[in-house]
Amino acid sequence: MADNAARQRRFPLEPRVVDVTDLTDEDDDGNNGKPVTPPPTTTTPSTQPKRKTKGKKRPRVDEEDEYSPYLDIFRVLTFLLLASCGLSYLVSGGESFLWGMQHRPNYLKLSWWKMQYNGPRYFTLEELAEYDGSVVEKPIYLSIDGNVFDVSAGRHIYGPGGSYHYFAGVDASRGFVTGCFADDRNGDLRGVEDMFLPLDNPEVDSHWTPAELAAKKVQERKDAVKRVHDAVQHWVDFFTKSHKYHYVGKLKREPGWEGEVKPLCKVAQEGRAYREVPTKEGE
């Protein structure tokens, strides 16, 4: 026994090496059924395996939708149609979405833009007479107080056979005030104020003294002249502001173009009334 102990001290027993992979449940009685983990092994960075990074998968070109120019064309046409309808509504003042205006504004007429570019034209009475509607290819012009307007849009009334054809190709300011279309086809307004003056009646006029009556007649003439001016200005404003007609130019008239003073036409003369009798409160 002593010899064996001394021998073991001199020659220690080598530990038993067991391959972990070869162990079975029967050989692993000392581990109580727990798996044996091998000791960690150290490796240098150069020996570590490199992990491959997976990049994002790019879509294949073949899988992309094919480009169609027809869709873009459809979008553009739709936009233009809507824009045109909206612009038509604004320009026509709510009259139409499809440019179906009966009376186009001046800025949509070529003749208006020509006049803006070239400036107003100047006509003699002879030149103005050429635009009376007798030539279909020419526009129809008329003049009010020396202002020339294009009334071609109303050819059915200002052209031959129309009810206002008397005014075409002339300055008919006098006729616009008196209502004598056939007789007063001229622009001489002298004496037209008489149509607004009351007729004298001795029985009625006796209510005033001679001085009062004379002063009254002076005021009546002033009022009559103003009424003539207002009547002419009314028609000038009518044609100037009209959506159908537009301003073209002015008349060139030599001094003395009026000739002799013309008598008041029959219609205007018959429209005159007697002076009214003053009331108790005053005239």
Are the C-beta atoms of residues 123 and 155 closer than 8 Å to each other?
A: no
Burial 59-88 (b: 16+ CB within 10 A, else e): eeeeeeeeeeeeeeeeeeeeeeeeeeeeeb
Distance CA 97, CA 87 (A): 8
Close Cβ partners of 162 (under 8 Å, ≥ 6 residues apart)? 133, 154, 155, 156
Domain 106-270: CATH superfamily is Cytochrome b5-like heme/steroid binding domain (3.10.120.10)
Tell me the pLDDT tens digit for each residue of 121-170: 899 999 999 999 999 989 999 999 999 999 998 999 999 999 999 999 99
Whole-model pTM: value is 0.60
Measured between alpha carbons, how far is residue 91 from residues 65, 87, 88 in Å? Answer: 42, 6, 5
* pLDDT reported for residue 51: 59
The mean per-residue pLDDT over the stretch 55-84 comes to 74
Tell me the pLDDT tens digit for each residue of 128-138: 999 999 999 89
Please check the confidence at residue 6 and state whether its pLDDT lies above 60.
no
Are the C-beta atoms of residues 223 and 196 closer than 8 Å to each other?
A: yes
Mean pLDDT taken over the chain: 80
Measured between alpha carbons, how far is residue 61 from residues 58, 69, 185, 274 in Å? Answer: 9, 19, 83, 100
* pLDDT reported for residue 27: 47
What sign for the dihedral angle of Cα 204, 209, 210, 216?
negative
* pLDDT reported for residue 280: 66
Please check the confidence at residue 254 and state whether its pLDDT lies above 90.
no
Interstrand relation of 147-150 and 246-251 (parallel, antiparallel or unpaired): antiparallel
* pLDDT reported for residue 23: 45
The mean per-residue pLDDT over the stretch 76-96 comes to 79
For residue 213, with 0-12 CB atoms within 10 Å meaning exposed, 13-18 middle and 19 or more buried, which class applies?
middle
* pLDDT reported for residue 22: 47
Please check the confidence at residue 201 and state whether its pLDDT lies above 80.
yes
The mean per-residue pLDDT over the stretch 23-31 comes to 48
Higher confidence at residue 196 or residue 242? 196
Please check the confidence at residue 42 and state whether its pLDDT lies above 70.
no
* pLDDT reported for residue 279: 78
Edge-to-edge strands, sheet with 121-123: 121-123, 246-251, 147-150, 141-144
Are the C-beta atoms of residues 146 and 274 closer than 8 Å to each other?
A: no
* Helical H segments across 92-120, by residue range: 110-118
Annotated domain spans of the chain: 69-102, 106-270
